[in-house]
């Protein structure tokens, strides 16, 4: 099962999803109530819109780091950071990754880049430069 959180309030609301903080608290309260780790339920923990949102625009690296840290503190064993709409560039990806690496162990991170504007390979290279080595991939012909 996958837990997916959008960092964009506007995108979440447009998709009829809980607010970011509410979702984190609901997961945390559920975990506390049943006395189990969230990682027992979710094999993949995906944060979308990590550098940009189609409605709100740029996403602050500190926002990504906050949500990633909350997931890590709840026991998530792997956190995927997704440039869901493909607007990331090395200039936005590196600061985001550095902020997350400051609060979550590097070995817990996975990245996923869409190639909407031809930047996916550049972003993978940027990720390698900050030592992220795990990637989700997909191909489109």
Identify the band that residue 41 occupies on the pLDDT scale cut at 50, 70 and 90: low
Query: Domain 2-129 falls in which CATH fold?
Result: TIM Barrel (3.20.20)
Identify the band that residue 141 occupies on the pLDDT scale cut at 50, 70 and 90: very low
Identify the band that residue 133 occupies on the pLDDT scale cut at 50, 70 and 90: confident
The mean per-residue pLDDT over the stretch 79-88 comes to 92
The residue ranges of every structural domain in the chain are: 2-129
CA-only gyration radius of the chain, Å: 14
Which tokens in the block code for residue 22? 């509410």
């Amino acid at each position: 099962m996958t837990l997916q959180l959008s960092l964009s309030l506007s995108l979440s609301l447009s998709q009829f999803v809980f607010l970011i903080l509410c979702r984190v608290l609901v997961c945390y309260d559920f975990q506390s109530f049943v006395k189990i780790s969230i990682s027992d339920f979710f094999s993949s923990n995906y944060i979308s819109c990590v550098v940009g949102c189609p409605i709100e625009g740029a996403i602050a690296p500190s926002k990504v780091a906050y949500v990633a840290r909350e997931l890590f503190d709840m026991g998530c064993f792997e956190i995927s950071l997704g440039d869901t709409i493909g607007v990331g560039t090395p200039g936005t990806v590196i600061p985001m990754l550095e902020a997350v690496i400051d609060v979550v162990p590097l070995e817990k991170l996975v990245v996923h880049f869409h190639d909407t504007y031809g930047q996916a390979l550049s972003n993978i290279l940027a990720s390698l430069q900050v030592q992220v080595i795990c990637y989700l991939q997909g191909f489109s012909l």
